[in-house]
Chain A
Amino acid sequence: MRILPFMKWRFVAAAFSVVAITVAIGSISTRSLNWGLDFTGGVSVELVYEESVNLSDLRQEVADLGYLGAVVVSFGSDRDVLVRLPEGYTNDDGQTLVQSLRAQTDQDIELAYLGFVGPQVGEELREQGGLAMLLALGLVMLYVGFRFQFKFALGAVVALAHDVLFTLGFFSLTGLEFDLTVLAALLAVVGYSLNDTIVVADRIRENFRKVRRSTPSEVLDISLSETLGRTVVTSLTTLLVLAALALFGGEMIYGFAVALLVGVAVGTYSSIYVSATTLLALGVTKEDVAIPVKEGLEQDDRLP
């Protein structure tokens, strides 16, 4: 097997990560996120057209009418259109919009529903969500620290924060709507990123014990090269499924799929560069993962 010199490029990767995360944090703090109606509440207008409508034309029309931040999506068939007006608009604005749209077309537009939709996510839930994230991070650190070593735990958490911030930054920069499904996707990214990092960490631990007379940097290169095949195959299959979701899953699942696509891609990268680089930076050595006397026994117990 060819050992690829991954660690030689770690400063380039680190620079990339630092820049990306800085941009992400900058964008999140200045532009914030395009919170979906799940978070903000707003006026929801559901229209049924006689014939199928061109969404991009309709979006232009709505924008021309001066509705800032309005979201136009189709749902159900291509005759059903959902227009969401953000916070600040009233039901009357919705009525006016319907009248203006009716005036611009000879099609008959049926108004299926118009009303204020309150936020699904209340203040307390947002706080709870943040708390849950911290709790999850804490427990994961504890578990990894216990199963591996503290430096690995720190590496995993740094990689995790990196992936979440990167994905959030992506949503902030592109202005894609951040709704509850995207939040769920973000949580899945956490799971995925961990999965990836642990698999690599597992191999690093194994090689530290097995490969003698090598520098830590060499051991990491060996480990990453050995797991590269698996990393690529898993990411590829997951990305295949996600691409299918993004392309064919429909409007309502699009945000979810995009969040995961970005998250999984960056998660793959971070399991190679972020967690490994952090390990090197923390000065990981053979002694960190030396087998305690009883560990071998425990492992044998666990295997079927």
Chain B
Amino acid sequence: MLNKYSLWKYLLILTVVVTGFYYAAPNLYTPDPALQIAPSSSSVQLDAALLSKAENALDEAGINYFGEELQNSGKSALIRLASAEQQLRAQAILSRALGDFFVVALNLAPTTPEWLMSGGAEPMKLGLDLSGGVHFQLEVDVDAATERRLAMYESGVKRQLREERIRGLVTLDGTDLEMKFRSEADREAARAATADLYPELFLDRTEEGDSWNLTASVTEQTLSEVVDYAVSQNLTTLRNRVNELGVSEPLVQRRGANRIVVELPGIQDTAEAKRILGKVANLEFRLVAETNAPITERQRFEYRSADRAGIYEWLERDLIISGERVSGANAGFDQNNQPNVSISLDGEGGMLMSRATRDNIKRRMGVLFIERKYRTRYEMDENGDEKIVKIPYDEKKLLTAPVIQSALGAQFQITGLDSTAEASELALMLRAGALAAPITFVEERTVGPSLGAENIRLGVKSVQMGLTLVVIFMLLYYRVFGIAAVIGLSVNLVLLVAVMSLMGATLTLPGIAGIVLTVGMAVDANVLIFARIREELANRASPQMAIHAGFERAVATILDANITTLIVAVILYAVGTGPIKGFAVTLSVGILTSMFTAILGTRAIINLIYGGRRVDKLSIGPLPKSRQTSDDARGEPA
């Protein structure tokens, strides 16, 4: 029988459509404006008492809220607000009431009901252009990373020569390490030692009078590896930092050679966000100087923590390792159930650490925390206007200076900490400090939530307008077939939203535009099919034959046309970033869902209406005049 699908085909289509509706449904529930509270330092606890303090503050200010709850076992709290207009004010009130120990961030809390959540259905995330938030671009100071690496080479070579009792002069000249020796034997020994220690250095021998010289130069390849390493390590650290401080749906992405893009939806206050991100930090491990060390070899540093303010230690100028060698730091407990921090270093770090500590047991080792800060100065420019100048500087403070109990390797513990809170704070600082190079903000942008809301409203409105126009047109032009097409089109939209939600794709403005475009293009498949059916009818095919042949013939065309477009979309996705990627995702998904609904979905509806029975006439609108058989066409004027 023509135009009848077997039962399993209908069931398959029905299953797909029902699943689509299920996963698209969470997008119908508008999220509540909310405030998210997170401690700014891990030593502070979030508890019910704090929550009631927050509630009191909101009560006093007359702000309506509901659904307050502690999340992630006390790592954050969420308070939902009755209206979005009060969000900023409520944030200000809470920030003041709770003080500097807590970060209060604007948030949108999903209202997905339980029966949807249990199936893993979640609403689509909104891009920054829609939800509002802050956008930062940070630049990794690759020069500093290179300098640091060169300094490490210098001190490493010096230390090695000293250990092997090779006398010589080592100086740093640009990216070259110049070494001068008194004898060829010394130089050869130094060459072997250096090649052993840093195989990546390029060594060159020259003679200059009675001085035997050795130049160790850093290759271009090594330099670019250093830069790459610095950027990717910064990326990881920034990700951790953003995550640990409880910002919802952040984006941390590398862009170009040495830039990193950070987008924090829901945060409106750039200063606040910069405080979170701007803890641009590093670590240095140095031995505490011996009391009789000459002043040129030691430096004085103050403790960082507030309860040891004013106390200082003298540290050696030479560093053992810096933060880039730290691969992890975790707070925990030792066998006596005392809080400690375990630190892991990378291979080279472990080697350097063991070399530095094995001869210095019972001495103390200081851990310095280095923060890039800005001093703000106000200057008058030539017009007499005040101008803000920000000067970056490195603030180095001592985190801790424990006694070295034994030779340390790639894994070691810091013990003797007062509390678990201190341990976790130290671990957090160590992790945060594990930065390979300082970063600076080169760009910051705030997207207001009003802009976001307005964009969504306009986007939705234009989609509605466009859809309505298309629906009216299809119904007028194709009658009953138009109804089938419109149903197919709506299902297509639902499926598109469902797939995007399932993929965890972020909806952006170009994404909405992509959806609108897909709607326009999805019509094309139906139009192709219906035009074919009309032609078949005009050529005096029976209604059933016309439907059958119309679908059959149009499918080849639809496939060809859509596959070529899909090729373009996939390439766009592969090479594009940000908005272009978002557009490519919607377009590709849209092409696939529209092929499903136009070829299978619309067909199923038409089959249900007309299939498997005698039909005299199809309600498909006006037919084209018959061209008769093809050979007659020859006679027509060309």
Contacts and interface: CB of A to CB of B under 8 A. Distances in A.
A304 B12 CA distance: 14
A240 B568 CA distance: 24
Interface majority SS (helix, strand, loop, mixed), chain A: helix
B458 A304 contact: no
Contact of A238 (B520, B556, B561, B565): B520
- Which one of A139, A230, A236 has the greatest number of beta carbons of chain B within 10 Å? A230
A241 B516 contact: yes
Interface majority SS (helix, strand, loop, mixed), chain B: helix
B451 A80 contact: yes
B521 A238 contact: yes
Contacts, number: 255
Q: How large is the interface on B (under 10, 10 to 19, 20 to 34, 35 or more residues)?
A: 35 or more
Contacts of B637: 3, 5
B559 A302 contact: yes
Interface in A140-156: 140, 143-144, 147, 156
A132 B633 CA distance: 44
B419 interface: no
Interface string A180-218: 110111011011101100110011000100111111011
Given A92-B381, A245-B513, A256-B513, A183 B580 contact: yes
A63 interface: no
Contacts of B563: 143
Contacts of A113: 445-446
Contacts of A117: 443, 445
Nearest to A230: B531
A184 B585 CA distance: 12
A188 B580 contact: no
B169 interface: no
B439 interface: no
Given A125-B577, A233-B531, A248-B462, A188 B450 contact: no
Contacts of B609: none
Contacts of A136: 567-568, 571-572
Contact of A252 (B473, B509, B575): B509
Interface string B537-572: 010000000000000100111011111110111011
Given A140-B564, A230-B524, A241-B516, 19 more contacts: A1-B625, A112-B448, A117-B443, A117-B445, A125-B577, A181-B513, A202-B556, A213-B634, A214-B638, A218-B634, A238-B521, A238-B523, A238-B524, A248-B465, A249-B458, A250-B462, A302-B555, A304-B555, A304-B599
5 contacts: A75-B448, A184-B513, A202-B561, A244-B462, A303-B555
Interface of B: 129, 137, 255-257, 259, 381, 385, 387, 442-446, 448, 450-451, 453-455, 458-459, 461-462, 465-467, 469-470, 473-474, 477, 509-510, 512-514, 516-517, 519-521, 523-524, 527-528, 531, 534-535, 538, 552, 555-557, 559-565, 567-569, 571-572, 574-580, 583-584, 587, 599-600, 624-627, 630-631, 633-634, 636-638
